[in-house]
Amino acid sequence: MKKLLTALFFIFYSIYAHSQSPRIVNIVNFIRLLEPRDAAITQDVLYQTVVNQIKLMRQYHLGGTFLLQYDALMDPRYQKLLKTLPRDSFEIGAWWEIPQPLVEHAGMVWRGRYPWDWRANIGFSTGYTPRERELLVDTYMKDFKQIFGYYPKSVASWFIDAHSLYYMYNHYHIVASANCKDQYGTDGYTLWGGYWNGAYYPSKLNAYMPAQHQANAIPVPVFRMLGSDPVRQYDDNLSRDRQGVITLEPVYPRAGGDSTWVRWFFNEFVSGANMAFSYAQAGQENSFTWDAMAKGLQIQFPLIERLRDEKKIRVETLAKSGAWFASQFKITPATAVTINHDLPGSNKKTVWFNSRFYRANLLWENGHLRFRDIHLFSEELPSRYETEVATTNDCEFYTLPLVDGYLWSDTTFFAGLRFKSLINGVEKDITGGIPTISDSVPGKLFISWPLQNVPGKLTVQFSEDAISMSLQGNDSFRWYLSFAAAAGKKLPFTGIASNRMNAMFEGMKYAVVAANGSFTKGKRPDEFTIQPAQQEVVLHFTTEAS
């Protein structure tokens, strides 16, 4: 009887914990009317892509969200097709790229090369003044309501400026938005260092930057799109100026179009520690065409249906997720993305921690553990596009770096903050066994790493505004953290005091404070160490001026 009661307890606890930290999947397909980059991709090819997406979603009893670019919104075929979808499981919203008809209907002159031009200064709101952005929003919303009888609840894009997003919230009461995954240079768009996955409330000064306080936040959750590979996407293509794409998007054969990768992605998605909730966006824009995405979607949708039916995930519209988020969180929550088992042939493990104050990534590989990334967030750092109009194809959004394992690495050396020790006067990487990751305490994420060759274990605790690291079970072993970047990289650090590291980036001063432990300069300008005190290091993150 005792064993039975124990088993029942764990079953009910598992169900309760899952309901408290749900795994949410949005199927989001956005629709463009035309594709000027390829003559073979006709308007009919794009339309039939959407027809087939709907057919496959219905085959597997999956609802989702369709987001319309303005030119597609005004096309009678799409209007008729989408009006047939049941509103209890499908959502129609706005895809916020700016084509020629929207600009002209708003009373402005089109500057693009084609009726839809993907450059940041033409096809996105960043290319227009704040007043012009309002006119574009008003025009879209007026026509959307005339066609569908209501205003859209969700508006998404690769990136939306804060002024437009706040205007949409104040005047049209949107409840959800979404932007691109973190990427460097892909298609000319850089979003780097932000809340890595899930959703956040953005700063009123910067739609990419999580706000720290409710008063300074736009009350619309921004969900991160595309389902990045948590292990490989971050430092892909170090030898090139632009990253590749390793995501859940079904058109990529080494990721969302590969059955092994898809099964791995969702297995880790439903099983890893996530703290508040997990999020993944499936689906694809119609520009890629049905022939390119069919195989990947036919791999993904049966699996998504099964996981939903097994109550392991929720499949819902973007607007429903946005409304749920707002009902649960008044400020951006702390969340985690955990990979306990990698793809076949690789033994890497990783965890991404996100909060309203910072993000951090730990990577375990071949017995070694390092911080691959730490970026701080400040609601006071404005986006340049709040006061400036983009003038080129390139668009850049950043946060405040402390460790950047992509931009500060090269093909010969991976930058990072590593766990080290001095053995017989020689600096060596600490080696350990398999780490365990737990989110059993609300608001905290714990990593426990047993050491090899010496007694004890290193523990890492992530909390909302701090990281604590300590060595337990061994008072004599001397360990520390050592940072180094690849040679020749431009770093933001401006000075080191015993208890703080000062930095400046994008014109903002910020610092990391050691509440326990101390900073020491390295032999080179791109090196420093953090020494523990009583076997513990506690780092607090602040954007106060140094």
- The DSSP annotation for 395-424 comes to EEEE-EEEEETTTT-BTTB--EEEEEEEET
**Token reading at 34:** 């035309």
- Cβ-contact 464, 445 below 8 angstroms: no
Rounded distance between C-alpha atoms, residue 149 and residue 142, angstroms: 10
pTM score of the predicted model: 0.92
Comparing 398 with 455, the larger pLDDT belongs to 398
Q: What are phi and psi of 443, to 5 degrees?
A: 80, 0
Per residue in 78-113, pLDDT (tens digit) is 999 999 999 999 999 999 999 999 999 999 999 999
Kindly tell me the number of DSSP H helices and DSSP E strands found in the chain: 10, 31
Cα 231–chain centre separation: 13
Give yes or no for residue 384 having a pLDDT over 50: yes
Reference 218, options 170, 252, 289, 185; nearest CA is 170
**Residue 1 confidence (pLDDT):** 52
Length of the chain: 546
Tell me the mean pLDDT in the region 39-46. 95
Is residue 97 classed exposed, middle or buried when 0-12, 13-18 and 19+ CB atoms within 10 A define those classes?
buried
Tell me the mean pLDDT in the region 301-315. 97
Rounded distance between C-alpha atoms, residue 210 and residue 331, angstroms: 9
**Residue 473 confidence (pLDDT):** 84
- Cβ-contact 240, 349 below 8 angstroms: no
Tell me the mean pLDDT in the region 314-318. 97
Rounded distance between C-alpha atoms, residue 180 and residue 158, angstroms: 5
Give yes or no for residue 40 having a pLDDT over 90: yes
In order of 278, 307, 311, the CA distances from 270 in angstroms are 8, 9, 10
**Residue 477 confidence (pLDDT):** 87
- What band does 243 get if pLDDT is binned at 50, 70 and 90? confident
**Token reading at 528:** 């420093």
Domain boundaries, the chain: 19-324+335-339, 349-542
Tell me the mean pLDDT in the region 224-252. 89
Tell me the mean pLDDT in the region 465-479. 90
Tell me the mean pLDDT in the region 499-518. 92
Give yes or no for residue 18 having a pLDDT over 50: no
- Backbone CA torsion sign across 147, 151, 157, 159: positive
Please identify which residue in the block is written with the tokens 């694809």.
284
- Cβ-contact 430, 420 below 8 angstroms: yes
Comparing 424 with 512, the larger pLDDT belongs to 512
**Residue 399 confidence (pLDDT):** 96
**Residue 545 confidence (pLDDT):** 44
Per residue in 207-225, pLDDT (tens digit) is 999 999 999 999 999 999 9
Q: What's the CATH number for 19-324+335-339?
A: 3.20.20.510
Name residue 311's amino acid: K
Neighbours of 225 (CB within 10 A): 26
Q: What percent of the chain has pLDDT over 70?
A: 95
The CATH architecture annotation of domain 349-542 reads: Distorted Sandwich (2.70)
Instruction: State the DSSP H helix or E strand holding residue 144, giving kind and residue range, or none if neither.
Output: helix 130-148
Rounded distance between C-alpha atoms, residue 127 and residue 111, angstroms: 10
19-324+335-339 and 349-542: identical CATH topology: no
Per residue in 252-302, pLDDT (tens digit) is 999 999 999 999 999 999 999 999 999 999 999 999 999 999 999 999 999
Instruction: State the DSSP H helix or E strand holding residue 530, giving kind and residue range, or none if neither.
Output: strand 527-531
Mutual orientation of helices 43-59 and 290-309 as an angle, nearest 10°?
20
Strand duo 202-203 + 206-210: pairing: antiparallel
**Residue 544 confidence (pLDDT):** 55
- Cite the beta strand spans of 183-228 per DSSP E: 189-192, 199-200, 202-203, 206-210, 222-224
Give yes or no for residue 540 having a pLDDT over 80: yes
Tell me the mean pLDDT in the region 46-75. 97
Instruction: State the DSSP H helix or E strand holding residue 269, giving kind and residue range, or none if neither.
Output: helix 259-271
Tell me the mean pLDDT in the region 446-474. 92
Neighbours of 247 (CB within 10 A): 22
Give yes or no for residue 173 having a pLDDT over 70: yes
Comparing 1 with 431, the larger pLDDT belongs to 431
Q: What percent of the chain has pLDDT over 90?
A: 82
Tell me the mean pLDDT in the region 476-485. 91
- Cβ-contact 504, 398 below 8 angstroms: no
Give yes or no for residue 5 having a pLDDT over 50: no
**Residue 448 confidence (pLDDT):** 95
Cα 319–chain centre separation: 18
Mean pLDDT of the residues in the chain: 92
